[in-house]
Amino acid sequence: MQKLPKVLFFDVNETLLDLSPLKNDVAELLRGKTELVSLWFTTLLHYSLVTSASGKYVHFGKIGAATLQMVAANAGISVSKEEAESVVVKGFRKLPAYPEVKEALNRLKSEGFTLVAFTNSDSKGLKAQLAYAGLTECFDQMRSMEEVGVYKPFTQTYNWGIQQLKIEPDDAMLVAAHGWDVAGAQWAGWQAAFIQRPGQQQFPLAEPTTMVATDLADFAAQLIARVM
């Protein structure tokens, strides 16, 4: 059995926070074409990697707004920069936590784990997100990829994360609902826990994750059982 992690790094969007309100607003802007919402989010992730691979950095929300304009244009829908940014940038900052999240985080903190929010959202947006969801006090640290100027899942981001905490790679565990994120963490030498949110799958070509859980409550219960 692998050793217990010292620090738990939590992805935020879709792992801790429910994107449904934002996706509903995006669908409305796309004239009710809900089938385009998943395409938009995938395009957002794609272009976040494009910017990082090109040595550039643009706030995650602004990439989200720009890619929303792209998806809309391909569907013959005109969306202005102002409309897109109003929906996406503001929407990311007003997302509710999944129902089990706060209690699960508090359980883990009470067991002595160090909890870090670790996200592609910009620093200001991250603080607003956690405050809106009532999760600020659950975390020991909040780390945005804005600080390093590169988006997950570049290996550089995970290396930077453990450098900030002064720990070894296998002392870190990423907790995320995205196959690309847990794959990136494991390839960087971290442990990883995959949270099975609806519509999410692990990458079949990656190594099996350290843990798999149905939600954060299940994850907390599994990890705490390893402490006992």
Report the CATH architecture of 7-18+96-227: 3-Layer(aba) Sandwich (3.40)
Quote the CA–CA distance of 225 and 111 in Å, as a whole number.
Answer: 11
| Band (228; pLDDT cuts 50, 70, 90) | confident
Distance CA 23, CA 224 (A): 33
pTM above 0.85?
A: yes
What confidence score (pLDDT) does residue 203 get? Answer: 97
What does the block give as tokens for 189? 């030498």
CATH 3.40.50.1000 segments of the chain: 7-18+96-227
* pLDDT at 59 (0 to 100): 95
Q: To 10 degrees, what angle do helices 179-187 and 155-165 make?
A: 70
Average pLDDT over residues 153-160: 98
Structure tokens at 169: 């790679």
The CATH number of the structural domain formed by 20-92 is 1.10.150.240
* pLDDT(218) > 80: yes
Phi and psi dihedrals of 143, rounded to 5? -125, 120
CA dist 93 and 123 (Å) reads 11
Structure tokens at 142: 């909040």
In the chain, which segments carry CATH 1.10.150.240? 20-92
Name the pairing type of β-strands 211-213 and 191-195: parallel
Percent of the chain predicted with pLDDT > 70:
100
Q: Is the pLDDT of residue 152 over 80?
A: yes
Q: What is the largest CA-CA distance in the chain?
A: 57
Residue from 217, 187, 154, 180 nearest 16 by CA:
217
Q: pLDDT-based confidence at 227, cuts 50/70/90?
A: confident
Distance CA 111, CA 49 (A): 36
C-alpha 24/C-alpha 59 separation (Å) is: 22
124, pLDDT greater than 90: yes
